[in-house]
Structure 1
Amino acid sequence: MSILSIKIPLTSKLKIPIHIFLWFLLPAIAVLLELSRHSINNYLIFKYVFVNTWEQKNLYTAYPEFYNDTNHYGPLFSVIIAPFAILPDWLGVILWSMVNAAFLFFALERLKLPEKAFKTILLVGAIELMSSTHHVQFNPMVASWLIFSYIFVEEEKDIWATLFIAAGFLCKLYGIAGLTFFLFSKHKLKFIGWFAIWLAVLFCLPMLFSSPAFIVQSYIDWIHSLQLKDSQNAIQSVTFGQQDISVIGIIRRVSQNSHISDGMVLVPAMILYCIPLFKVSAFKNPEFQIRYLALALISIVIFSSSAESVTYIIAISGVLIWFTIQDPVKNWMIILLIFVFIVSIISPTDLCPRPLKSVIRAYALKALPCFIVWLRLLYEVQFNKYSTQTTAS
């Protein structure tokens, strides 16, 4: 019997497939472990985005009496975290982690991939989801929003697509990658109009429990905090810190040169990302479109100096989508997926031998397998033959 067909008996009447059971069990274990260790620092940062917005205190100042590090999310994030922040911390952090897992689960399910592909994504991705949940991260939801924006463009529901793009942009900037899907929209004017409307609405939304002046100033402060963080990331990179787990991070760490600019990699990457988009005739083809979804999910992580190991639930989602849409799956693709699994997924965990883990972490090599998949995806969107088949409405 295949592992994909195993079901977990919970009662005599209810059976849960193993891939769904593990998808929710592993993050549940992770968040309960962190609670038992009193190690929910990231959640406290998130919580105080709401608290400080309510009390109109600077969102980007350090508050060492409450948590370590500083916030780097936009003021809109105060609205997202609010329903959890008003709860006791133990309950809020559990619900926050499980809602993040649920968002990504339902986004992947809505992609309507073949059942075996969906099961493979959940089974392989569950470990990366667990790693993200150990740090009670927002990244699973960020990944889901980008996937939902793609799905709603495909379903010609541009109102909802643009909501997720605008929300992702105003919370963590990454969501802006969803604008790629504008090219696949059949209602471009509607897309532009609703994106502008959602930007305005979501920009103002935190003002409901704060003030206009404070929110406007907070967005200005946010820009400054991101600029400062980018320069700090470059320094952290050459001292083998937690940030800059990216392609440019590999270059900085190997060369031990913190002065290498992001643009050295970002500009060529953006050009390569955009070149296949001149193939206008392929825009209606679902195989071309979903490859761009995978490309976007990987791109926003591996070229970000702010990427941490736990950010990779976004990129790994893209890698797994790429792998499961291959027909046929070739041996070298399986080898590449194993490489991703060992270096990008397993390396931060206790399953990885300590010497190997140390080398991968020191030189930001977690980004390397995802970068190889990114290059392969570029090849596929540029050179595969795509018909003018239209996606179903």
Structure 2
Amino acid sequence: MIDKLVILWNKVYSFFRRPFFSDPRTLLGLWTLLPILAGLTKIAAHRHNNFLIFRGVFWHTIQQVSLYDLYPSEYNDHNHYGPFFSLVIAPFALVPDAIGLLLWLVALSLVMYYAVRRLPLEQGKQIFLYWFCAHELLTALQMQQFNIAIAAIIIGAFAAIERKQEVLAAFLIILGTFVKLYGIVGLAFFFFVKRKPRFILALIGWSVVCFVAPMLLSSPDYVLGQYVEWFTRLAAKNSENHFSLMQNISLLGMIRKGSGCATYSDLAVILPGLAVFALPYLRIKQYKHLAFRYAILSATLLFAVLFSTGSESSTYIIALAGVALWYTTSPWKRNGWDIALLVFTFILTSLSPSDLFPRSLRESYVLPYALKALPPTLVWLRLSWELLTKNYTPLPQLQGQQDQAV
């Protein structure tokens, strides 16, 4: 069975290596077209509630009213983004809804496209990531959320550190943190920073800037109050997520929903997960290998999703990017089991929210038990084992090429 899957995979892989499909311009066109199609679909159906919430962050900041109250006459649900988001969304809130939505989705898609292009990664491997994540990108675009930008921020921070652009890396990490907290995982790359004092000072400086910047639209007292409300809302949301059908689609949710137990703390899972995540950092001699650093990037992208109760279907654009990097950046050749795991991830994780996946299976098993998280969890476990045991020294024939990429 595995041998047949490998043969099929090689045929598919060869097909997408044809000049048209492997041309970066084709992928740029695809990643521009997908947000336009998603936006037009949402406009036609009048189903762009999340974007209305985002626009509200800007206008409510101007009006100096709560960012976290319910406004049923404007949109459904609460806002869960930080006060700094008012500046991020401002250009898209100042134009009519339809135009703002289209521009917002195109911007999200192209920001991630550009972040991947900035990686010191062979073009063929970048192209694989674009194709592998394209369907998941469409899923995320349909929800209009910032998760695509979070993937771009984490990848972009890594790329900036590799290019010795510490100030840019610090900005991206702080930006992601002040908008949706996820960006803080970019600190996982701290040990790879060459000029650490410069990086630390940049983190402090950008933190001050991002903290006070929303005051330009309102007032200091208002913004300080909104930061307090933000953390209160996030704490409440964490409790609401535990057994939510469309939230907590994570390793945490898979365990909780599968067991049906509500009495234990998520820390019982998070702390062992943190230990597994941290142990590879003891392998200091491996830091010099780009493949090892890519493996840490992959683990970071996966960990951010699998260990968060706020993970939902659209969050998996972050995890799928981690899976693609796990598959393509190892210095050893991936075997049939790795290919099987990659295909399993694409089918169950990426396709399960779509009409390409059997509806009965989705509604009876995938959604109630958060099974979208299962394949990325298996990838994370395998990746963690590799980080703890494998030698990431480049193969001799790749040594010169990889050194040049660094």
Please report the TM-score for the alignment, with normalisation by the length of structure 2: 0.91
Pairing 1:297–2:310 present = no
Q: 1:150 aligns with which of 127, 143, 158?
A: 158
Pairing 1:243–2:240 present = no
Q: Structure 2: give runs of 5+ residues left out of the alignment.
A: 1-13
- Cα offsets for 1:39-68 (capped at 9, x unmatched): 100000011011111111111111011000
Matches within 5 A, 1:161-240: 161-236=169-244
Q: 1:377 aligns with which of 378, 383, 387?
A: 383
Match of 2:320 in 1: 316
2:24–2:127 CA contact under 8 A, matched in 1: no
Q: Letter of the aligned partner of 1:369 in structure 2? A: P
Pairing 1:4–2:8 present = no
- Cα offsets for 1:231-288 (capped at 9, x unmatched): 111142xxxx211001111111112122332111111101110011112222222111
Q: 2:285 aligns with which of 269, 278, 281?
A: 281
2:150–2:318 CA contact under 8 A, matched in 1: yes
Match of 2:139 in 1: 131
Q: 1:248, 1:66 → 2: CA distance?
A: 33
Pairing 1:28–2:36 present = yes
2:35–2:102 CA contact under 8 A, matched in 1: no
Structure 1 residue 120: deviation in Å? 1.3
Query: Superposition RMSD on alpha carbons, in Å?
Result: 1.8
Structure 1 residue 17: deviation in Å? 4.5
Structure 1 residue 334: deviation in Å? 1.0
Q: 1:274, 1:203 → 2: CA distance?
A: 29
Q: 1:235, 1:117 → 2: CA distance?
A: 37
The range that moved more, 123-132 or 256-265, is 256-265
Match of 2:341 in 1: 336
Q: 1:362 aligns with which of 361, 364, 368?
A: 368
- Cα offsets for 1:116-160 (capped at 9, x unmatched): 211111112110000011111111111101111111111111000
- How many pairs does the alignment contain? 383
Structure 1 residue 355: deviation in Å? 1.5
Q: 2:18, 2:64 → 1: CA distance?
A: 52
1:77–1:171 CA contact under 8 A, matched in 2: yes
Q: 1:350, 1:392 → 2: CA distance?
A: 40
SS of the equivalent of 1:214 reads helix
Structure 1 runs (4+) deviating above 4 angstroms are 387-393
- Cα offsets for 1:73-98 (capped at 9, x unmatched): 11111111011011100000000000
Structure 1 residue 330: deviation in Å? 1.2
1:284–1:391 CA contact under 8 A, matched in 2: no
The range that moved more, 265-274 or 378-387, is 378-387
1:56–1:214 CA contact under 8 A, matched in 2: yes
